[in-house]
Structure 1
């Protein structure tokens, strides 16, 4: 592997890669410094003037995944180093990064992982056919034949593949279809989370970066959405460099690769990964240095902004009016001919699958709460309800339970609009809608928890089902309103992402020479905060924003979309609810009335796993089940889990009649046999003749005779004191006859059970019930009762115990 990379990536090519990366970042850095000042101006202005949309009805949890992990388990991973499959333990933390270890013990001991996979830019695949299709499409000049075997043979029929256009691919296998579906859902969630875009918490860095990236790509002729805007800024910049560098290197290196088609594909993947890692290391260092320079200038710029904010706003409005007078006629004509006829069709394509997805989120939430009410009513225990509430608290982050809702949005299709509006794909909108669905689910769950806690505190936990029903109805009303607000905002943003780049692409060439002259209208002290390019984009946006809002407003009237009208504004019906602090409810302590202590120091605190493949106690493991248990995970089954298991694995103990019907016990191969050994049925050996107490074929006694033997055993226990006194007399007699003591020691022994009589509890495994051992000792051991009058040692054959 190293020879292939070193032979095709010599010093000359590595130097060319470094120079190309530096050139891109230098040009991007100039744009970023300009947009940083504009983003700082907008942030300070928003802080001073205020603003915002309608207040949400649902509460928001700040840190929902605290002390949680998503999933973990064992599967097979393909190692490129030795081209072999090895069993690995994978752990998905709350960051959604995938860490893989040598085994579970290495993870439990806190050792460093063998590797960490950041899923930004990846695609999660579950079939080799999908993977080969992507490989062939990414290498147009190097396609394998249709019937040719792939370069990688999986060990099972259930592969899992993480594909990236530039970085290394990762191959996994599991043994069952059930595991494949769960791992695929988890991998998709990791990709979805990593591709969600930059955090909104950074009110300056995030808009500065996104605007700089958009303007840079527009300067190169790339308008519209971009599928590779994934991950953190260094990763996005690496994708930006590879967008032009990758095709150039492919055309230069691929023709020189030797071997069969499959081997050449594999070698190119390794070379591409080496190039991507080199570019990523450079972009990370350069971006950190760029941010450090801009952040160092921030205090002076912010002081100037706060001092001259009114003058800067006045100057910007003056320039805005001048540019609008120039651009509006052509913008209006373009809007009427190329935009307005397609707004409704674009909106319809977005709304149908998105509304179905949000509706499925509501139904999933409703079903889970109904299940809690039913289980609480049937079980009648608060402990069981606490288990279900702990499970529901992480419902939004359970990719398997949310999969049905996610699949609704994946049906979104913008075919026919991609070429007209320069939309690279719908994955950007699909991932964004799915993230919003997850947020709304978590807000609904968290609000329900807080309402339920308030109600339980007020009522003392009486009539749990009615309390759950009331809280459920209130939360669903809040969810309906909030989901409507979130969807309308999502539709407006999606329409802007599709339409504005198209209009800019059509209008920019017409005003390239006219726009720079407007820079002269801006004072030099304010020139860093007011850029003509940004004002031009705002003018284009203002020309179409009214039409977009009107289209969404008209769609809200249609009942099939389940949207609230903009005129309907719900007032906050729970004012005290928003006064609650950020807290995590301990449902076991809440419902039992006992406060549990939190491990505040954080040491030895085990993370709870959200997605679990752990079987219930006493249930048989699935064949080839590879997923292992993570410490601290409660044995809570997931949906439909354990329903199609072997009916013989019931947790109900066997009755004496059922145990008596079992013939010729052998080694405990089944779970039921092991359970019978752990909780055995008491069987008693009767030392009488077969005529008096006929035995069954397996050596056990009928129930009526067992009761008779039990009565006789009780009589023996009542005579224990008499037997003990007899033994004391024997010891005194032995001490008086020292000459005959040796005969007693050598000849008289406690009689052992006969080897011909088989104890009914013994089997090939060697397990035996302690209770049966005690019973056998009382029944089968003969006891010396008396000596003859002369004080001689008694013959054991003459000793009789009356039963």
Structure 2
């Protein structure tokens, strides 16, 4: 596909792209330098005058994700060579997605195969929705919902990461539960990376956002913008691509050749290449612009602090003149086109947002309630530390917070979007979700500090009572803080909707008169006072009164659960605010059994637990290549005959079988890990034909597996000689002690003694004495077995040289594990003839191989002390 990109992006087009990007960045840089001085003036003025607005009652965590990563796990990733590769994904606190060949490559510190910055992406689980977006990428190519563009998912559960300009990514999961967890994680990555403008920086961030807004307004775009997401260079690249992308599509689209799917894929690759070129150029230019402005900051700040009073007086004089000209027009526009719709906008915003914050409160209370129930009987601080370690990251747990986020996603602005030029409610949804996560973290952090303070003077038996008191106190503070945060969000959202609408209506009649007001400003102050900014402030002040009154009227309604803003000074709750200066509590170190202050190298803790599926085994981080669909014919066209050689996967483990089709991925969950018993059965049944039906019958036998083998074998059945004995017992109603199953599972080939016993089964004659029935049917624990010989003991030299050694190097075919059912009948008849139940201590099982010539069984001796019953197999 590199040839497609190079053929359509020749040198002339690359120069054109660079020239268009340079032109946009020059205009932006000029606006940024102007807005930088204005933002610095506002910041210095705010520092001097101060603010007496409402303050948070909850504490704020400085670095919530310190020594944390969000998630890691294995899934299938679609590659450019039309194959699906089993990848290991790692998501650190930056929320960028790193993918590796396997988990071992990540643990060894190798470079990742790639990094996905999720800013601007959308995580889609519907193929039809993805096809609709792909169909709109080229004007003359429309994809149908019944066909796939150039991709067939390897599993029934897929997630597509779609970007309007960048590369698309496709992931496959084995179950719906696994996809739901990954979808929540990807959405959290998108939500976080979209909000990458620092709110702590009161100069660069306002200067950047105002410069982007003024640039778009100069080109007639006043409404909200969905691609205002990511870091500043990414936003600038989106700004360039907003006008460049349609032009390139009209220029290159008609020249693409091939079928519909091939043209779509080629266009995605070309668009991604252009986006990378633009992003590299915007990153370099933005850094240079910021560096120039920062170098001038000391001089500008010194001038501001010297002449602050004169600058404020000059600005107020100009604001009064502009207000006298604009106010009548603004008042008429507000009366006719804005005030009748404020209540409708508020209602559309408030209902889903309030439900989301209410869900946050419920999740916080439920998690603390569950913790109290778990430690009620134990009343141990060690147990409390284990639970608090999980609760401390509750706000950053995408799966637990997903229900809260879904409440806000119900926000609809239908009917208001066209009138007020709102592209979609996605901007407000993500902003509300970020505020919800912040409030949850503040509540959790405040609860941690209060509980830790109480534990120092609380007896062990009163831990639950102390936790309940802290919880009640935090809930009250959360109610007030969430009310304040919601009302602020409603005011900002209304301004973000109404101000662009008012400016678009007023600009044609007012912008022409603004230059004459610039003459009223002294030249020394002209860089801090811009008449265009003053004009927007006048419009904002005019509509702010209506917005504030509307929010107050709605706040008195009890159904929205809003409270009066409270002004909390630091001295009013001295006990709580003294805790704000203390470091975060390390619950694992202080209450998790580790010695405080001990220098230990610990791995970064993970917020979301690893996905462990009960129905299918993990592949131990290994890579598995699944060939993709090389070509999908369009509707009404016969598929041409042709074959392509499959490319070998990079880094594929030679011991893992390669699936031959995407459908074979579904069989991965049933793949069996071979054991020594499987090898023995394979040798004994080498000359016996088996059928798939027999495999299903054997698989139906319920065989409990040893705990240390569950992760490797999963739910796949391992038929052994004792399994057949158990099956015979069920057929003939023979009462054989259930300890046969226990001993069978505990005698897995994890011990060298068991290896010797299994190896001896290859001899012509084998005697297996069923151990005595354990009294009261009490199962043996793994610890009982480990006392005789530890599991990790090295095998002896004779065992090491045996050909029957454990081997996990490959996947065993299930058809080799089938047994012959006809063999059970003569044994069953012999058992019935006995007429009595045998003593378990006197049972002998012998296996006599047949003579290759006659087919008769070789005779063998039984032990000197004759048992009650002998089973010959």
User: What TM-score do the two structures reach when normalised by structure 1?
Assistant: 0.79
Q: Secondary structure at the match of 2:69?
A: strand
1:197 CA drift (Å)? 4.7
1:589 CA drift (Å)? 4.7
**Residue 111 of structure 1 aligns with which residue?**
110
Q: Distance in 2 between matches of 1:649 and 1:574?
A: 58
Matches within 5 A, 1:144-543: 144-543=143-542
Q: Secondary structure at the match of 1:514?
A: helix
- Sort the Cα spacing of 1:132 and 1:671 in 2 relative to 1 into closer, same or farther, 3 A: farther
**Contact 1:77/1:87 (CA < 8 Å) preserved in 2?**
yes
- Structure 1 unaligned runs (5+)? 630-645, 653-660, 681-696, 707-756, 765-779, 782-803
1:576 CA drift (Å)? 1.9
**Residue 2 of structure 2 aligns with which residue?**
2
- Sort the Cα spacing of 1:22 and 1:650 in 2 relative to 1 into closer, same or farther, 3 A: same
1:621 CA drift (Å)? 4.0
Matches within 5 A, 1:589-628: 589-591=589-591, 595-597=595-597, 599=599, 604-613=601-610, 621-625=614-618
Q: Distance in 1 between matches of 2:135 and 2:77?
A: 23
Matches within 5 A, 1:53-64: 53-64=53-64
Q: Distance in 2 between matches of 1:549 and 1:12?
A: 54
- Sort the Cα spacing of 1:130 and 1:624 in 2 relative to 1 into closer, same or farther, 3 A: farther
**Contact 1:166/1:242 (CA < 8 Å) preserved in 2?**
yes
1:3 CA drift (Å)? 0.8
Q: Deviations over 1:360-399 (max 9, x none)?
A: 0000001100100111114444333221111101000000
Q: Deviations over 1:7-27 (max 9, x none)?
A: 111111111000000011111
Q: Secondary structure at the match of 1:199?
A: coil
**Contact 1:166/1:276 (CA < 8 Å) preserved in 2?**
yes
Q: Distance in 2 between matches of 1:305 and 1:761?
A: 99
**Contact 1:75/1:626 (CA < 8 Å) preserved in 2?**
no
1:359 CA drift (Å)? 0.3
**Residue 684 of structure 1 aligns with which residue?**
none
Q: Deviations over 1:63-93 (max 9, x none)?
A: 010010000111111111x221111111000
Q: Secondary structure at the match of 1:462?
A: helix
Q: Distance in 2 between matches of 1:90 and 1:310?
A: 56
1:158 CA drift (Å)? 0.8
1:294 CA drift (Å)? 0.9
Q: Distance in 2 between matches of 1:196 and 1:186?
A: 16
1:130 CA drift (Å)? 1.8
Q: Secondary structure at the match of 2:585?
A: coil
- Sort the Cα spacing of 1:179 and 1:762 in 2 relative to 1 into closer, same or farther, 3 A: farther
Q: Distance in 1 between matches of 2:741 and 2:387?
A: 30
**Contact 1:175/1:625 (CA < 8 Å) preserved in 2?**
no
**Contact 1:225/1:424 (CA < 8 Å) preserved in 2?**
yes
Q: Deviations over 1:614-635 (max 9, x none)?
A: 55xxxx8441546969xxxxxx
- Sort the Cα spacing of 1:704 and 1:179 in 2 relative to 1 into closer, same or farther, 3 A: closer
Q: Secondary structure at the match of 2:72?
A: strand
- Sort the Cα spacing of 1:152 and 1:279 in 2 relative to 1 into closer, same or farther, 3 A: same
**Contact 2:379/2:463 (CA < 8 Å) preserved in 1?**
no
Q: Deviations over 1:388-424 (max 9, x none)?
A: 1111010000000000000000000111111110111
1:137 CA drift (Å)? 2.7
Matches within 5 A, 1:579-590: 579-580=578-579, 581-590=581-590
- Sort the Cα spacing of 1:298 and 1:270 in 2 relative to 1 into closer, same or farther, 3 A: same
**Contact 1:124/1:163 (CA < 8 Å) preserved in 2?**
yes
Q: Distance in 2 between matches of 1:491 and 1:648?
A: 58
Q: Does 1:699 align with 2:770?
A: yes
1:274 CA drift (Å)? 0.5
Q: Deviations over 1:39-71 (max 9, x none)?
A: 111111111111152121111001010010000
Q: Distance in 2 between matches of 1:283 and 1:703?
A: 76
Q: Distance in 2 between matches of 1:407 and 1:599?
A: 42
1:318 CA drift (Å)? 0.4
1:168 CA drift (Å)? 0.5
1:135 CA drift (Å)? 1.0
Q: Distance in 1 between matches of 2:742 and 2:26?
A: 67
**Residue 13 of structure 1 aligns with which residue?**
13
Q: How many residues align?
A: 672
1:549 CA drift (Å)? 0.7
1:146 CA drift (Å)? 4.1
User: What TM-score do the two structures reach when normalised by structure 2?
Assistant: 0.72
Q: Distance in 1 between matches of 2:229 and 2:366?
A: 34
Q: Secondary structure at the match of 1:95?
A: coil
**Residue 134 of structure 2 aligns with which residue?**
135
Matches within 5 A, 1:717-796: none
Q: Deviations over 1:440-499 (max 9, x none)?
A: 001111111111111111224331111111111111001101000100000000000000
Q: Secondary structure at the match of 1:88?
A: strand
**Contact 1:599/1:605 (CA < 8 Å) preserved in 2?**
no
| Bigger mean CA offset, 373-382 vs 198-207 | 373-382
Q: Secondary structure at the match of 1:512?
A: helix
Q: Distance in 1 between matches of 2:541 and 2:404?
A: 34
- Sort the Cα spacing of 1:586 and 1:410 in 2 relative to 1 into closer, same or farther, 3 A: same
1:613 CA drift (Å)? 2.5
Q: Distance in 2 between matches of 1:227 and 1:621?
A: 40
Q: Distance in 2 between matches of 1:132 and 1:763?
A: 63
- Sort the Cα spacing of 1:704 and 1:462 in 2 relative to 1 into closer, same or farther, 3 A: closer
| Bigger mean CA offset, 428-437 vs 376-385 | 376-385
**Contact 2:54/2:567 (CA < 8 Å) preserved in 1?**
no
Q: Distance in 2 between matches of 1:588 and 1:312?
A: 55
Q: Distance in 2 between matches of 1:406 and 1:647?
A: 43
**Residue 78 of structure 2 aligns with which residue?**
78
Q: Secondary structure at the match of 2:478?
A: helix
Q: Deviations over 1:337-358 (max 9, x none)?
A: 1100000000000000000000
**Residue 716 of structure 1 aligns with which residue?**
none
Q: Deviations over 1:673-710 (max 9, x none)?
A: 64575999xxxxxxxxxxxxxxxx9734466899xxxx
**Contact 1:176/1:624 (CA < 8 Å) preserved in 2?**
no
1:321 CA drift (Å)? 0.4
1:758 CA drift (Å)? 9.8
**Contact 2:70/2:93 (CA < 8 Å) preserved in 1?**
yes
Q: Deviations over 1:209-236 (max 9, x none)?
A: 0000101100000002100001011000
| Bigger mean CA offset, 315-324 vs 451-460 | 451-460
